[in-house]
Structure 1
Amino acid sequence: MSLSVTDTALLSIALIDLAGIILWIGVCLHLAYTKMDLMLEHLKNCPAIMTRAPLRHGGPWGKLLLVGGISGIVTFPKFYLKRGEISSEDLANFPGPLKRKLVALQWSVICLLLVMISFGAAVKSGFL
Structure 2
Amino acid sequence: MSVSVAHKIFLCISIIGFGGLLIFLGVALHLAYTKMDVMLDHLKNCPSIMVRAPYKNGGAWGRLFVLAAIMGIMTMPNIYLRDGGANAKDLQSFPRSLRRKLIVLHWSGLVFIVLLLGLFVVSALGLV
> What band does the TM-score fall into relative to the shorter chain?
over 0.9
Confirm or deny that 1:92 pairs with 2:92: yes
2:82 maps to 82
Q: Partners of 1:65 and 1:11 in 2: how far apart? A: 31
Q: Which structure exhibits the higher relative contact order, with contacts defined as CA atoms closer than 8 Å and separated by 6 or more residues?
A: 2
Matches within 5 A, 1:54-73: 54-73=54-73
Q: Give the alignment's Cα RMSD to 1 decimal.
A: 0.8
Unaligned runs of 5+ in 1: none
Q: Partners of 2:121 and 2:7 in 1: how far apart? A: 16
1:43 maps to 43
Residue aligned with 2:85, SS: coil
Q: How many residues align?
A: 128
- 1:122: Cα distance to partner? 1.4
Q: C-alpha offsets along residues 66-99 of structure 1, whole Å, 9 cap, x if unaligned?
A: 1111111110111111101100000010000000
Normalised by the size of structure 2, how large is the TM-score? Answer: 0.96
The share of aligned pairs that are identical, in percent, is 45
Matches within 5 A, 1:108-123: 108-123=108-123
2:59 maps to amino acid: G
Normalised by the size of structure 1, how large is the TM-score? Answer: 0.96
Q: Partners of 2:87 and 2:45 in 1: how far apart? A: 6
1:52 maps to 52
The list of structure 1 runs, each at least 4 consecutive aligned residues, that deviate by more than 3 angstroms after superposition, is none
Residue aligned with 1:12, SS: helix
- 1:59: Cα distance to partner? 0.4
2:124 maps to 124
